[in-house]
Amino acid sequence: MIYFDKVTKIYQDGMKVIDDVSLSIEPEEFISIVGHSGAGKTTLLKMLLAEESPSDGFIFFESQDINKIKENKIYKHRQKIGVVFQDFRLLSNRTVYENIAFAMEAAGKTNDEIISDVPYVLKLVGLEGKTQNFPQELSGGEQQRVAIARAIVNQPDVLIADEPTGNLDPNNAKDIIDILQKVNELGTTVILTTHNKSIIENLGKKRVVTMENGKIIRDKSGGYIL
């Protein structure tokens, strides 16, 4: 599904943040990309989203060379990828229901689809009783659950979770990872970035790719982290 082919990224100041990376991710896989801050994890994801372009190499998504997608078609590529961030990025002036409905409206979904799908994803993340709450009325763990619901409501092929537990305590962090695994079991490819060793250990035999100074230094199944 996803293939990074000898990808290098060098910024204008000469800093090389990705160095000759080749990486394949299969459909419905759950993969964790780990490494210290500055290892290149986030840049790799930005290139997958076509927010950054590689200086060298190729990135393929469903056999499509991302860098050959026309500017006016990039939005269609991004609709296939849901994203969850560390800082939630919810709309503070909208309820939980409205935050998720807004994502569906932006994707051109009908009112009937919104009425049907929003309750479904809220039940999936365990927030069916919080539809009329505003983000500031929720705990950090609950806000991240809303963010996950928003990211998956349009049924993306891939879910990127970029340090989704960075602002959470261990119990809430575990709950979020459990939800991500549930999403994966329903058929969505999940790409998780983290530097939390306990999370990786709790994922058991899932694949872990370790990055350091823009390079992949390890690609194994189960429990490997710097």
Tell me the two tokens of residue 151.
């990211």
- Domains of the chain by residue range: 27-40+71-221
CA distances from 14 to 10, 114, 187 (A): 6, 46, 40
The string over 191-223, giving b where at least 16 C-beta atoms fall within 10 Å of a residue's C-beta and e elsewhere, is: bbbbbbeebbebbeebbbbbbbebebeebeeee
Give the phi and the psi of residue 117 in degrees, each rounded to 5.
-90, -30
How far is CA 62 from its chain centroid? 17
8 A C-beta contact, residue 31 and residue 192: yes
Tell me what pLDDT residue 221 has: 82
8 A C-beta contact, residue 44 and residue 3: no
Residue type, 107: A
Residues 6+ apart with CB under 8 A from 196: 165, 166, 173
**Dist CA 77 CA 126 (whole Å):** 29
The model's pTM: 0.93
Q: Which helix (H) or strand (E) holds 59?
A: strand 56-61
Beta-bridged to residue 21, according to DSSP, are: 7
The string over 44-67, giving b where at least 16 C-beta atoms fall within 10 Å of a residue's C-beta and e elsewhere, is: bbbbbbbebebeebebbbeeeebe
Local confidence pLDDT in tens for the 226 residues of the chain: 999 999 999 998 999 999 999 999 999 999 999 998 889 999 999 999 999 999 999 999 999 999 999 999 999 999 999 999 989 999 999 999 999 999 999 999 999 999 999 999 999 999 999 999 999 999 999 999 999 999 999 999 999 999 999 889 999 999 999 999 999 999 999 999 998 888 888 888 899 999 999 999 999 986 555 5
Tell me what pLDDT residue 197 has: 83
Tell me what pLDDT residue 141 has: 96
Tell me what pLDDT residue 224 has: 52
27-40+71-221 homologous superfamily: P-loop containing nucleotide triphosphate hydrolases (3.40.50.300)
8 A C-beta contact, residue 22 and residue 6: yes
Query: Long-range contact list for 114-121, CB < 8 A, 24+ apart?
Result: 117/153, 118/149, 118/153, 121/149, 121/152, 121/153
